Structure 1
Amino acid sequence: MHDSDRVMENADAVLRRVSEGNRARIARRRARRRSRLGATSKRLALVTVALLLLMIGAGMVTPIGIGGAMLFALAAAIAWALVIFGSVEPEARVADLAAPDIARLPARTESWLEQQRPALPAPAITLVDAIGLKLDTLAPQLATLDPATPAAADLRKLIGEELPELIAGYRRVPTALRTGAARSGLNPDRQLLDGLAVVDEELARMAERIADGDLHRLATQGRFLELKYRGEGG
């Protein structure tokens, strides 16, 4: 079977999971929004309480009058505006995908991929959703993964360099030429699908390698405890 045929079969399999993947993507996006909203609400409450206490304290020293009340109201409006403005999620950048904090890689990557969706064909969007789902599944492992390990470096290279370059290369091709045949015999849409499928498959292999490492460490620790305590008991 030709490699491109195999890739298309994989893409078809992913297409059959589109509803599940899309629901999961929406759920993750809503969860991030709820988290940001909750954090913003807490900061607004703290700022409001601090300003009220300051106003009460100032009023106990000397009457603040209408002018003072207006000044505090202005200060509150400015403080609230700063809190709200500072809570807006910044636009994801490619540089964020290769940052040292690998635990935040899934959320950063999904935010960046969300921005690329309008420029991608429908099958590619399905694969992008599958990649986001795999990264989300990897999140608990990445939270404890040493950022200096080869696995972390490989993941940063795949997600922080190769995936953005693949999508950027596709977007550089004029829209009218994306579905036409190229010299290699593959059109840009197919090349994009091939590349995204490879990324999706490689993420699955990386998850297995990281899990194998965790299982090996667990087995080693279990063997150590067995030798230490049961050995001494014997």
Structure 2
Amino acid sequence: MISHETDQALARARGTLDRVRLQSFDMPATTRRSRPRRSVAKRAAAIGAANVIILLAAAIIGLAIMPLGIFGALAVVLVMMAVTLAIAFAPGPRPVTHEKLVKSDLKALPMQTTRWLDAQRPALPAPAVQVADRIGLRLDTLGKQLQALDDGAPVGADIRRLVAEQLPDFIRDYQRVPVELRGAERNGKTPDRQLVEGLELIEREIGQMSEELARGDLDSLETRGRFLEMKYKDGDAT
């Protein structure tokens, strides 16, 4: 569960970010970074798959039904171009807002948080992106575990507080620090370093939650193993 020490550590990190941000009042406003672009790799894979299907369909028609001829081949090319353009310029999924994150169903919360976290990557320094990737893996595991969890389970409130509130709030506090000050050291640490350490702390907490959720399954397996060992010991089934 979320420990008191975790809350204190995150509060100290956020306090440092706040103090650094206060230094920016006399500085010119910086432009916001653009939203992350759609996944080029996924779109390229979808385009490739669609074009392969079109070519296979054209080949089957040309061999089994009737030759396509010049006009048929031209039609195939036009269809491939139309499909390529449709996939390339299709609108991406709507971004997950913080408000939507807070209202998400517990079982869908890890996936929604992962989507929100992915959208923040362009605004994070490289070391923090690496930690965010690890958090994403933790959330994937947590999401699978939550599918078997009752909605009213007490652990649900702790998970929601950490994943839907503390994690987004912490990253948003960092993003409000002007870019020029993120590498400036204050009290021995820079905002960039505070961000990385805070995310590492959150990653560990999510990992501990997964371990606690899995402990019931592990205990069940251990109990069943002892039962089978006693029942079928030495190959004597009763």
TM-score (norm 1): 0.54
Identical-pair percentage: 25
Structure 2 counterparts to residues 1-234 of structure 1, below 5 A = 40-54=47-61, 59=66, 67=71, 69-85=73-89, 93-94=96-97, 95=100, 100-101=107-108, 104=111, 108=115, 111-117=118-124, 120=125, 125-136=126-137, 139=140, 142-143=143-144, 145-146=146-147, 148-149=149-150, 150=153, 154-175=158-179, 189=191, 192=195, 195-226=198-229, 233=237
- Contact 2:123–2:175 (Cα < 8 Å) also in 1: no
CA distance in 1, matches of 2:63, 2:86: 23
Q: Is the 8 A contact 1:180 1:188 kept in 2?
A: yes
Determine the C-alpha separation between the residues in 1 that align with 2:61 and 2:160. 47
Normalised to the residue count of structure 2, the TM-score between the two structures is: 0.53
Query: Residues 209 and 144 of structure 1: is their aligned pair in 2 closer, same or farther, counting only changes over 3 Å?
Result: closer
Structure 1 residues 51-84: Cα deviation after superposition (integer angstroms, max 9, x where no partner): 4445667746xxx775554334322211233345
Cα deviation, residue 45, structure 1 = 0.9
Shift of the alpha carbon at 1:220?
Answer: 3.0
Q: Could you tell me how far apart the structure 1 residues matched to 2:46 and 2:64 are?
A: 27
Distance in structure 1 (CA, Å) of the matches to 2:218 and 2:145: 14
Q: Is the 8 A contact 2:108 2:143 kept in 1?
A: no
Asked whether the equivalents of residues 106 and 136 of structure 1 are also in contact (C-alpha less than 8 Å), the reply is: no
Unmatched segments (≥5 aa) in structure 1: 9-31
Are 1:55 and 1:72, in contact at CA under 8 Å, matched by a contact in 2? no
Q: Give me the whole-angstrom Cα distance separating, in 1, the residues matched to 2:57 and 2:156.
A: 42
Looking at structure 1, the residues matched to 40 and 222 of structure 2 have their Cα atoms a distance apart, in angstroms, of 39
RMSD: 4.8
